[in-house]
Chains A and B, each alone.
Chain A
């Protein structure tokens, strides 16, 4: 051999990396000695059978043989060849790989080098009392891949690290589970939760969990999971309440994580249940009743089943020649044109190009009701049946917070998830320019309906019940007062 076995070994290891000898390769090489084999098998015999399941899993993994075949057939890369030239091995690396893979005994110097001084090889540790254990540890990957045998976990110790103190574990182990394991003692009610939520959360999530901008929507979306645009909220989608508690406690408020007390998190969680219509306003959540609360969509999940359906379906030999008669382009990305470029922000561009809309219907309404440009009377405006009381309009602005994740009003408003609502009062449903409506909404307008006090009140109270099949993912306003305020607010935008 060489005077510099370690260096040579490093070359060999580097070569391994270059050729891309995968994963278990150095282990395989390491494993070239029969003595090592024996130790591994002995250790395997001793192994606690508690890990059988995992062993079987591993044994089913199909990937290893093709890997080595690939490597064996792969053309030798130039750098590799050079490296090999420095190594004592007589044979090209690729062959060496193939033979090593075939469990060839240690006749090849390069293999031995890898075995004795690979980066994770036992060569670094000779003389240590735990060398046998190290052999076992290092050989796992190969054993697991080829024979489904795993080493003796309990037998290995490197003597590294130190015991974690109970205070340290308590400080970091703050996670909780669906069964409530991990919850600290504490409680919080809906009204306290509302206060905390509005102070600390509503800037992103809206006062009612409806969300601002693209921040996550936390409430609503009921029965939307089968629709074209599902709204996945705590109430509509999340399976477990514990997820809410855990995430708020560990990561919220955004930018000030782990600043909330357990009681505040109980209160926020209670409030989020409330805005999702899952509890009454006098509800108090605590560690004691936590596990009793089920979320509606807990049953809406099942384990990955690709192996039973998709994978077999997608594993047939595909057609290679004359597979179809004609090909048509059915959709083009340039039509959407949402790809960013260096010149301008796409969002700004799209917004600027969307007309701020619907002046015509607004003008019509105004013409019917009162002379244009005049301050509206503080009464009921003409025959629309909608109040123009400034206080009510102001109240309506508060109620509208629930809507603004999807709808814009006022100057510069553009269509978002929902259409612009300027001039909506008095207009024909389903006619805001540039917005793609559901068939239900379009039909509602074509049937001669008009958005007035009666139709808007009916729709806003129960969007789905009033107009089945429409796209708006909103549960509906709860009180007549809110509806009156909302109408006043919407009517103030022409």
Chain B
């Protein structure tokens, strides 16, 4: 994300939630399913069920399958005014369309600083240099011969929710929280590669460098490099997508996404941090007193309700309603999420479902009988260290409005009598 706050845009005449038209198909389906009285021709009339009568496409129609056309609306989306151009830019994962904890590869948000590099596997090289006994060069084939591990981790951009510091701004969890994805990586423990090169005692810092046109670099303390970092080449079982760093990216579990250098070409060992652009002018957190925090690597515990949300309103009217969302922490697991329907007067423990892994997304549900009255929805994550996701007001007490990064404050959705949801802030 660009290093700027986004506020003060001119109010427009646009009506409340015209964007809800995008979900029109869902509400139609719901209505039809509810139809009573005359027999449903989709059941009684074979003529209206061609799929039951005629043959469908055979195998190999799509050698690499894509979702059925009815799901074409499920896509990554950018916010045009956010960045100067679309090359050094970002788009957002459609969290409101997903369930479970795994993000499909094609929906993982993209953030590039010099566009997505295209590197053929045979042209790929990884260098290790600096304070090592042997400076080494690996091909992709070399890397594939190292022992590898599989881990599910979330990757969250430090700027996720950064546009909301000054107040509620974007209508949709895709835009407020969509700079995140959660996939299973297959990769080599970084410590194995460093051991292969022979890490010297004086080596305290690692510089990870990308091969893209931005020459992305980040300094990483050697303790983290030797702990759980991976040099990954697969995500969700298949090779990394181009936009996720094909063929090799760094995985820095629990830490801000910018450090997960894509198109990884070089690992340099040094005795001091490099203080490069992305760890000085960017990804430092300016506080109210004009001083800035640096090296704020860990991602604090955070959660968001994905349904209902502005892009996913309640279309079925009062009655049994499924509320769901995701939660994560850079410091461990999420054993508990609380949910409120009344803006924080009363809270309920949500039901966690699915695998619980450290530094991975977690899925929660809260099912309730909606009486049709307006709701003020919030979720509050607790992580395994005892940390509890703060309110935005609490967070601003420590950070002010200008820190851009690491906004993990509690999100509020206002749901009106029609089931339409809006991003709001509350007292």
Contact = CB atoms under 8 A, between A and B. Distances in A.
A301 B172 contact: no
Nearest to B148: A120
Contacts of B380: 318
Contact of A323 (B186, B280, B344): B344
Nearest to B137: A164
A338 B332 contact: no
Interface in B1-30: 2-14, 16-19, 22
Nearest to B4: A214
Contact of B359 (A26, A63, A176, A327): A63
A401 interface: no
Given A315-B385, A332-B422, A19 B355 contact: yes
28 contacts: A20-B152, A22-B357, A119-B147, A119-B148, A119-B186, A153-B194, A154-B195, A158-B192, A160-B142, A175-B217, A177-B272, A238-B281, A246-B277, A247-B277, A303-B293, A306-B293, A314-B300, A314-B387, A314-B389, A315-B385, A315-B387, A322-B345, A330-B424, A332-B414, A333-B169, A336-B168, A337-B11, A347-B80
A250 B274 CA distance: 14
Interface in A305-355: 305-306, 309-311, 313-343, 345-347, 349-350, 353-354
B interface: dominant SS: loop
B280 A238 contact: yes
B95 to A, nearest CB: 15
A4 interface: no
Contact of B284 (A172, A301, A318): A301
B119 interface: no
Interface string B179-202: 000001010010110111111010
A65 to B, nearest CB: 8
Interface residues of A, number: 133
B425 A329 contact: yes
Nearest to B266: A172
Contacts of A234: 281
Contacts of B135: 163-164, 169
B331 A63 contact: yes
B5 A156 contact: no
Nearest to A152: B195
B388 A316 contact: yes
Given A324-B345, A337-B9, A339-B171, A158 B223 contact: no
A212 B272 CA distance: 35
B358 A63 contact: yes
B291 A302 contact: yes
Given A141-B228, A153-B191, A243 B277 contact: yes
B315 interface: no
Interface in B258-275: 265-266, 268, 270, 272, 274-275
A175 B207 contact: yes
B78 A329 contact: no
B300 A306 contact: yes
Given A137-B147, A173-B266, A240-B280, A66 B332 contact: yes
Contacts of B291: 300-302
Q: Which of A19, A53, A164, A243: most chain B Cβ within 10 A?
A: A164
A250 B277 CA distance: 11
A340 B77 contact: yes
B296 interface: yes
A175 B209 contact: yes
- Nearest first, the 9 closest Cβ-Cβ pairs linking A and B are A20-B355, A70-B356, A63-B332, A327-B343, A250-B215, A333-B423, A66-B384, A225-B290, A54-B223
A160 B384 contact: no
Given A162-B136, A216-B3, 12 more contacts: A22-B152, A138-B147, A164-B129, A172-B129, A226-B288, A230-B402, A246-B217, A255-B213, A337-B12, A340-B78, A346-B80, A354-B10
Contacts of A246: 217, 274, 276-277
Contacts of A440: none
Q: Which of B10, B284, B401: most chain A Cβ within 10 A?
A: B10
A74 B11 contact: no
B427 to A, nearest CB: 4
A61 interface: yes
B2 to A, nearest CB: 6
Interface stretch (B35-43, B48-56, B81-89, B238-246): B81-89
Q: Which of A247, A320, A334: most chain B Cβ within 10 A?
A: A334
B60 interface: no
Contact of B358 (A19, A67, A153, A204): A67
Contacts of A322: 345-346
A214 B356 contact: no
Q: Which of A157, A161, A316, A350: most chain B Cβ within 10 A?
A: A161
Contacts of A328: 426-427
Contacts of A138: 147
B384 A62 contact: yes
Nearest to B356: A70
B170 interface: yes
A176 B214 CA distance: 15
Nearest to A75: B353
Interface in A16-52: 17-23, 26, 48, 50-51
